[in-house]
Amino acid sequence: MSSGVNGVSRVGRVLTLDNMNPNVKRLEYAVRGPIVQRAVQLEKELKEGVKKPFTEVIKANIGDAHAMGQKPITFLRQVLALCAYPDLLEDNRFPEDAKQRAQRILQACGGNSLGAYSASQGIECIRQDAARYIQKRDGGIPSNPDNIYLSTGASDAIVTMLKLLVAGEGRERTGVMISVPQYPLYSAALADLAAVQINYYLDEDKCWGLDVTELRRSLAAARQHCNPRALCIINPGNPTGQVQSRQCIEDVIRFAKEEHLFLMADEVYQDNIYAEGCAFHSFKKVLFEMGPEYSDAVELASFHSTSKCYMGECGFRGGYMEVINLDPEVKVQLTKLVSVRLCPPVSGQALLDLVVNPPQPEEPSYETFMKERNAVLADLKAKAQLTEQYFNAVPGITCNPVQGAMYTFPRVTLPQKAIELAKKEGQAPDMLYCMKLLEETGICLVPGSGFGQREGTYHFRMTILPPAEKLKVVLEKIGKFHQQFTQEFS
Amino acid sequence: MSSGVNGVSRVGRVLTLDNMNPNVKRLEYAVRGPIVQRAVQLEKELKEGVKKPFTEVIKANIGDAHAMGQKPITFLRQVLALCAYPDLLEDNRFPEDAKQRAQRILQACGGNSLGAYSASQGIECIRQDAARYIQKRDGGIPSNPDNIYLSTGASDAIVTMLKLLVAGEGRERTGVMISVPQYPLYSAALADLAAVQINYYLDEDKCWGLDVTELRRSLAAARQHCNPRALCIINPGNPTGQVQSRQCIEDVIRFAKEEHLFLMADEVYQDNIYAEGCAFHSFKKVLFEMGPEYSDAVELASFHSTSKCYMGECGFRGGYMEVINLDPEVKVQLTKLVSVRLCPPVSGQALLDLVVNPPQPEEPSYETFMKERNAVLADLKAKAQLTEQYFNAVPGITCNPVQGAMYTFPRVTLPQKAIELAKKEGQAPDMLYCMKLLEETGICLVPGSGFGQREGTYHFRMTILPPAEKLKVVLEKIGKFHQQFTQEFS
pLDDT of residue A377: 97
**How many pairs of residues across A and B have Cβ atoms under 8 Å apart?**
306
- Tell whether the model's pLDDT for residue B3 goes beyond 70: no
pLDDT of residue A340: 86
* B82 within a domain of the structure (yes/no): no
- Tell whether the model's pLDDT for residue A45 goes beyond 50: yes
Secondary structure (DSSP) of A249-271: HHHHHHHHHHHT-EEEEE-TTTT
A263/A124 same-domain check:
yes
pLDDT of residue A33: 78
**Final residue before a domain boundary, out of B329, B356, B383:** B356
| CB atoms closer than 10 angstroms to residue A276 | 6
B137/B245 same-domain check:
yes
Name the domain count of chain B: 2
Q: Which residue among A15, A80, A339 places its CB closest to the CB of B330? A: A15
In whole angstroms, what is the distance from residue A385 CA to residue A383 CA? 5
Inter-chain residue contact B339 with A189, CB threshold 8 Å: no
* A33 within a domain of the structure (yes/no): yes
DSSP element (H, E) containing A97 = helix A96-107
Which candidate in A173, A330, A352 is best for mutational testing of the B interface (most B CBs within 10 A)? Answer: A330
What pLDDT digit, counting tens, does each position of A175-202 carry? 999 999 999 999 999 999 999 999 999 9
Q: Which residue among A72, A168, A171 places its CB closest to the CB of B113? A: A72
CB of A156 less than 8 A from some CB of B: yes
CA-nearest residue of chain B to A75? B85
- Tell whether the model's pLDDT for residue B256 goes beyond 60: yes
- Rounded to 10 degrees, the C-alpha dihedral B442/B445/B450/B455 comes to -100
CB B31 within 8 Å of CB B431: no
Average pLDDT over every residue of A352-373: 97
Which candidate in B88, B124, B342 is best for mutational testing of the A interface (most A CBs within 10 A)? Answer: B342
Q: Which residue among B115, B314, B340 places its CB closest to the CB of A115? A: B314
In whole angstroms, what is the distance from residue B250 CA to residue A147 CA? 50
pLDDT of residue A42: 95
- Tell whether the model's pLDDT for residue A479 goes beyond 90: yes
Q: Which residue among B14, B80, B118 places its CB closest to the CB of A229? A: B14
Residues paired with residue A234 on neighbouring β-strands, in sequence order? A266
Burial B310-319 (b: 16+ CB within 10 A, else e): bbbbbbbbbb
Q: Which residue among A21, A224, A342 places its CB closest to the CB of B155? A: A342
Residues paired with residue A472 on neighbouring β-strands, in sequence order? none
Q: Determine if residue B52 is left, alpha or beta; phi over 0 gives left, psi from -120 to 50 gives alpha, anything else beta.
A: beta
A259/A325 same-domain check:
yes
In whole angstroms, what is the distance from residue A360 CA to residue B155 CA? 38
B265/B384 same-domain check:
no
Q: What angle do CA A117, A123, A127 make, to 5 degrees?
A: 155
A235/A151 same-domain check:
yes
* A411 within a domain of the structure (yes/no): yes
In whole angstroms, what is the distance from residue A82 CA to residue A102 CA? 6
Average pLDDT over every residue of B131-145: 97
Inter-chain residue contact A15 with B229, CB threshold 8 Å: yes
Question: Closest by alpha carbon to A358, among A291, A300, A407, A306?
Answer: A306
Which candidate in B43, B190, B347 is best for mutational testing of the A interface (most A CBs within 10 A)? Answer: B347
Residues of B in contact with A311 (CB under 8 A): 115
Task: Quote the pTM value.
Answer: 0.94
* B410 within a domain of the structure (yes/no): yes
CB A407 within 8 Å of CB A454: no
- Tell whether the model's pLDDT for residue A111 goes beyond 70: yes
Question: A287-293 contacts: CB < 8 A, separation 24 or more?
Answer: A287/A253, A287/A324, A288/A138, A288/A141, A289/A141, A290/A250, A290/A253, A290/A254
- Tell whether the model's pLDDT for residue B371 goes beyond 60: yes
Q: Which residues have CB under 8 Å from A94's CB, separation 6+? A: A78, A82, A88
A437/A481 same-domain check:
yes
- Tell whether the model's pLDDT for residue B132 goes beyond 80: yes
CB of A325 less than 8 A from some CB of B: yes
Inter-chain residue contact A343 with B14, CB threshold 8 Å: no
* B9 within a domain of the structure (yes/no): no
A381/A289 same-domain check:
no
- Tell whether the model's pLDDT for residue B8 goes beyond 70: no
Rounded to 5 degrees, φ, ψ at A70 are -65, 135
B58/B116 same-domain check:
no
- Rounded to 10 degrees, the C-alpha dihedral B57/B60/B62/B68 comes to 80
Average pLDDT over every residue of A149-170: 96
Rounded to 5 degrees, φ, ψ at B224 are -70, -25
| CB atoms closer than 10 angstroms to residue A374 | 11
Give the gap in angstroms from C-alpha B330 to the nearest C-alpha of chain A: 6
Q: Tell me the HSE value of A489 on the side-chain side, using a 13 A CA sphere.
A: 19
In whole angstroms, what is the distance from residue B377 CA to residue A268 CA? 43
In whole angstroms, what is the distance from residue B78 CA to residue B93 CA? 10
pLDDT of residue A9: 56
A180/A323 same-domain check:
yes
Q: What angle do CA B130, B62, B310 make, to 5 degrees?
A: 35
- Tell whether the model's pLDDT for residue A342 goes beyond 90: no
CA-nearest residue of chain B to A117? B315
Query: Which SS3 state, helix, strand or coil, does residue A173 take?
Result: coil
**Final residue before a domain boundary, out of B298, B323, B356:** B356
- Tell whether the model's pLDDT for residue B159 goes beyond 50: yes
B278/B401 same-domain check:
no
CB of A78 less than 8 A from some CB of B: yes
What pLDDT digit, counting tens, does each position of A209-220 carry? 999 999 999 999
Average pLDDT over every residue of B362-388: 97
What pLDDT digit, counting tens, does each position of B310-357 carry? 999 999 999 999 999 999 999 999 999 998 888 999 999 999 999 999
In whole angstroms, what is the distance from residue A93 CA to residue A421 CA? 62
Burial B21-56 (b: 16+ CB within 10 A, else e): bebbbebbbbbbbebbebbeebeeebeeeeeeeeee
Confidence of residue A208 (pLDDT cuts 50, 70, 90): very high
CB A83 within 8 Å of CB A316: no
| CB atoms closer than 10 angstroms to residue B276 | 6
- Tell whether the model's pLDDT for residue A11 goes beyond 90: no
Residue B9 gets which letter from DSSP?
A: B
CB A444 within 8 Å of CB A61: yes
Find the CATH number of the domain harbouring A162: 3.40.640.10
CA-nearest residue of chain B to A316? B345
| CB atoms closer than 10 angstroms to residue A159 | 20
CB of B167 less than 8 A from some CB of A: yes
CB of A339 less than 8 A from some CB of B: yes
Inter-chain residue contact B315 with A346, CB threshold 8 Å: yes
Identity of the amino acid at B342: L
pLDDT of residue B209: 93
CA distances from A201 to A29, A204, A208, A246, A453 (A): 19, 9, 9, 19, 8
B95 preceded by cis ω (within 30°)? no
DSSP element (H, E) containing A201 = strand A196-201
pLDDT of residue A30: 76
In whole angstroms, what is the distance from residue B166 CA to residue B227 CA? 10
Inter-chain residue contact B317 with A167, CB threshold 8 Å: no
Give the gap in angstroms from C-alpha B479 to the nearest C-alpha of chain A: 26
Residues of B in contact with A160 (CB under 8 A): none
Q: What is the mean pLDDT of chain B?
A: 94
Give the gap in angstroms from C-alpha B65 to the nearest C-alpha of chain A: 7
Residues of A in contact with B27 (CB under 8 A): 336-337, 340
A342/A464 same-domain check:
no
Residues of B in contact with A305 (CB under 8 A): none
CB of B194 less than 8 A from some CB of A: no
CB A127 within 8 Å of CB A338: no
* B76 within a domain of the structure (yes/no): no
Residues of B in contact with A64 (CB under 8 A): 110, 116-117
Q: Tell me the HSE value of A251 on the side-chain side, using a 13 A CA sphere.
A: 13
Please give the residue range of the domain that contains residue B379: 22-62+370-488
CB of A44 less than 8 A from some CB of B: no
What pLDDT digit, counting tens, does each position of A292-325 carry? 999 999 999 999 999 999 999 999 999 999 999 9
- Tell whether the model's pLDDT for residue B473 goes beyond 50: yes
- Tell whether the model's pLDDT for residue B6 goes beyond 90: no
Inter-chain residue contact A14 with B229, CB threshold 8 Å: yes
Query: Which SS3 state, helix, strand or coil, does residue B408 take?
Result: strand
* A78 within a domain of the structure (yes/no): no
Confidence of residue A32 (pLDDT cuts 50, 70, 90): confident
**Final residue before a domain boundary, out of B287, B321, B356:** B356
What pLDDT digit, counting tens, does each position of A56-67 carry? 999 999 899 999
CB of A305 less than 8 A from some CB of B: no
Least reliable range by pLDDT among B31-35, B201-205, B255-259, B299-303: B31-35
Find the CATH number of the domain harbouring A404: 3.90.1150.10
pLDDT of residue B7: 45
DSSP element (H, E) containing B320 = strand B318-324
CB of B219 less than 8 A from some CB of A: no
In whole angstroms, what is the distance from residue A174 CA to residue A189 CA? 13
* A79 within a domain of the structure (yes/no): no
Average pLDDT over every residue of A121-134: 97
In whole angstroms, what is the distance from residue A150 CA to residue A133 CA? 14
CB of B29 less than 8 A from some CB of A: yes
Query: Which SS3 state, helix, strand or coil, does residue A236 take?
Result: coil
Query: ipTM score of the complex?
Result: 0.93
Q: Which residue among A4, A165, A188 places its CB closest to the CB of B15? A: A165
In whole angstroms, what is the distance from residue B243 CA to residue B208 CA? 9
A58/A123 same-domain check:
no
CA-nearest residue of chain A to B307? A115
CB of B175 less than 8 A from some CB of A: no
CB of B34 less than 8 A from some CB of A: no
